[in-house]
Structure 1
Amino acid sequence: MPERFKGFMVCKTGKDQIETVVEERPVRELPDGEVLIRVEFSSVNYKDAMAATGHPGITKKFPHIPGIDSVGTVEESSSSRFSRGDEVIMTGHGLGVERWGGWAEYVRVPAEWVVPLPDGMTSREAMTLGTAGFTAAQCVQAIQLQGITPERGEVVVTGATGGVGSIAVMLLAKQGYPVVAVTGKESRRDWLTELGATRVIDRSDASSDTDRPLLKTQWAGAVDTVGGNTLTTLVRSMEHRGCVAACGVVGGPELPLTVYPFILRGVTLAGIDSAWCPDDLRAEIWQRLATDWKLDGLDRLASETDLSGVGDVVQRMMQGENVGRVLVRPSA
């Protein structure tokens, strides 16, 4: 077993300020768990960016290592389910939140949190997807479970240049849905069309300030990564028996609605919880992403950084400037 590992540490100073540093720590300081994994890739998610800036709703103990995603190779295992050399995925649960996460050369976790890397999927593909792709896939599944087929009409995706949004556009397009991508980044319209969007609209067109309980119907389904007024607008403008899969809060947690979209139009609001998704469903979705839902061209979404560059990525993400997915190579 290695004696030390390198990680991206989030620290609180004596002045109650947040500082970050890349440093080595003893492996014995890693949390308890049956499986020790050498991390090949992690990724940067919005929750990670909040953890890296010391958000009290995410980071509760210091020092802390963010990274809710990781993929790598089993170094040690006391579980019969895994052996040294197995390639595995670790996303969600308490990783990077309740315990040290994937922005480090090693993570140690409970065996039940670990999913074997499916055949047909590379480690780089797994982290280009990561929690973002896993969340997007759950959103698409939620829409399909309501019986919404491509023939029903357009499915709108908000925050479409982000990790969840961009992968949702690709997944929906692969399955034949007419996809309307919503973005505030004018320069990314052609890029979204290349990903599969049939139309691209400005985010102002997906948000209404009126307080009317129902709006003109527009969408058969929706993947909302924003929340707040955008989500409120989508629910009020869904077609009859439409479904909104909601997974984001960057636009705010408030949801001022009446019951009318639900009891007059039969709208479904499906909340997507990726961190504590049941493990059997988690494994099923990863298998689908490696087989019938496998996406071509994932490289278009991904860039890479080492631990020394993560801080810059976090700042861009908090300012809404990131596009696609950023992978982290802890050992680079």
Structure 2
Amino acid sequence: MSALLTPASRNAAARSNVSPIIWDGDQLRLLDQRVLPHEVRYIACRGAADVAEAIHGMAVRGAPAIGIAAAYGMVLALRADRDSLERAFETLAASRPTAVNLRWALERMRGAWLKQPDLAVFEAEAVRIHDEDLAQNLKMGELGAALIGPGARVVTHCNTGALATGGHGTALGVIRSAYAKHHIELVYNTETRPWLQGARLTAWELQQEGIPGKLVADGAIAHLMSRETIDWVIVGADRIAENGDTANKIGTYALAVAAKQHGVRFMVVAPSSTFDLRCRGGADIPIEERTARELTEFRGVPVAPEGYDAFNPVFDVTPAALIDAIVCEHGVIEKPNRERVRAVLK
């Protein structure tokens, strides 16, 4: 059993100036990612309902970060009412359906309580989930960086850094680690519509770390690849099926198709908790659809005709055949398929 980190030591180990999740023993404070980069504001959560609202409302996002926040939400719930285990579980599980890390963390916390219903032990389990995620990210950063040669130009989509995880990041963690080895020349990061996580969050994290980056419109990627040499597309994941099919932020599938057309390698970076071996393939992964207003409005200001409808899936599935490598803390799965996924996760 590894030693538990304090918030300060956890942030130092993350090699990042970003602390999106702060547990101080009495409450959970979540960095409100909806107002970045123009404002740094934390939300105080004192119960499971507060955490569920923060997850559903996108104040905290990124599959690993959602799972960590939910684990702490369970602690808050049982501190208030020791008989609230199942109610808290269902409330938090319903907040985002696609990211499997959420249910994984909740099931782990439920199992810990049923095994030993002690609040101190229960809190330690949530902290351990947080610490383990950071350690996994640092390991994945090392493994992924080893695949990237010097002078690389890479594309990343959405936000997969410290803001989306327990620290360091998944896909952005690989980029951080590769940049530290002087292997990254330039990062192109997409806007990531409609919430603009790439424009608001990834650009901010890259700037905080001094990593050279350029913002690119989601629809400009194929054009970029036709004009410039891009070595890798590096993305995270919200759920990976048994056969390697991967659900990630909407637009990832189109990136993978463009990458295949232009001979650009495609890397997915995610911890083992993101794999869902109960899903045989991508067709089994539930895809969250959100309100049309997220497309027809921007921060409450209409950008489409009043009453106009919209199709707003927030994830898509990239077939394993378009993925060159999946990196998790246990190793690298090249040309993923069912047998190779199971061999690494066994």
Q: Normalization by structure 2: what TM-score?
A: 0.37
More helix by share: 2
TM-score, scaled to structure 1: 0.38
* Structure with greater strand share of residues: 1
Query: Which protein has the larger Cα radius of gyration, Structure 1 or Structure 2?
Result: 1
Task: Considering Cα pairs closer than 8 Å and 6+ residues apart, tell me whether 1 or 2 has the greater RCO.
Answer: 1
